[in-house]
Homo-oligomer: A and B are copies of this chain.
């Protein structure tokens, strides 16, 4: 019996090439085809030399596959995905198109009309640590944004247990690869090197994802998240430092109590590791692991939770493969066992 097949739409961005790397090395899936518009007709390895070992020619259009990954930009992605679903394929969409259940919020944040709003309700938000069950039967998975992945995993246990007040600060520091492969002045080496700055102060598009998922954890209560992303001089990694005042129900809880709570929350989730000291993005480099460290600031009693991920793996392509594993009934860790490459 042959292995299930996978295809990648728009392989030519950083999420696309990372998907190609992971799927090629996946023991239970065959990467059948990859598409890319401007690069169609060329060997994958001729554009991405590190992928020379993958013997595929970039196609102009998707073929058939058991699971299709879309790495198209938002809006275009939904348009490409809809006919594939009709043809019976299952899809993991790495774009933002199906992440938000509130279509008007999507349209406001992204400034476009939703191209396939009829599919929104069935799409499963692809954070396996919160939606593992639904993912196994999902036809359409909305792969989370990189920032939401780190922020939600940092906050979910505290929010679900009602241990923090509703005002939450998420201060995230991202490597530059999160901005994609298209050259621009802010990601020009000479500008981004030796520099840190905050951006999207008028409101980042990933914020409603964070709010949506946290609110689902504790029906009847809603969080108020101030989320500020920062561009930092490294290629990969997101460190999210999250702050919230303790709720009365958490009175007396210190670092150890939170650590225990978090461990219990994630005990059956292979890609979240609750750690005992402040995590480094470097320790996730190239791996699908999310490191989470909850603690309580001794001077103020504020809960501080720090998470570290590789934005291209657990924050994008790795999480997408994790979702595919669940959809296909493969072991959740299949193809994702690679340890981080350090230093």
Contact = CB atoms under 8 A, between A and B. Distances in A.
Contact of A230 (B203, B241, B285): B241
Contact of A281 (B197, B236, B287, B337): B197
Interface stretch (A70-78, A94-102, A112-120, A294-302): A294-302
Interface string A162-196: 00000101010101110101011101111111111
12 contacts: A25-B338, A49-B283, A49-B291, A169-B302, A176-B190, A177-B190, A187-B190, A189-B193, A190-B235, A191-B343, A196-B239, A197-B282
Contacts of A85: none
Of the candidates A14, A169, A195, the one having the most CB atoms from chain B within 10 angstroms of its own CB is: A195
Contacts of A268: none
Contacts of A236: 194, 343
A235 B171 contact: no
Contacts of A54: 339
Given A49-B279, A176-B193, A227-B299, 18 more contacts: A14-B343, A48-B342, A49-B280, A49-B283, A49-B291, A176-B190, A177-B190, A181-B343, A183-B188, A188-B188, A189-B235, A193-B194, A194-B234, A194-B235, A197-B282, A198-B306, A203-B298, A203-B299
A84 to B, nearest CB: 27
B224 A241 contact: no
A37 to B, nearest CB: 16
A21 interface: yes
A21 B337 CA distance: 11
Nearest to A211: B299
Nearest to A183: B183
A261 interface: no
A233 interface: yes
| 5 closest residue pairs by CB, A with B | A195-B282, A183-B183, A50-B340, A190-B343, A171-B171
Copies per complex of this chain = 4
Interface in A302-343: 302, 304, 306, 308, 337-343
Contacts of A286: 286, 341
A135 to B, nearest CB: 23
B299 A226 contact: yes
Contact of A187 (B183, B195, B282): B183
A338 B338 CA distance: 9
Contacts of A198: 239, 241, 278, 306
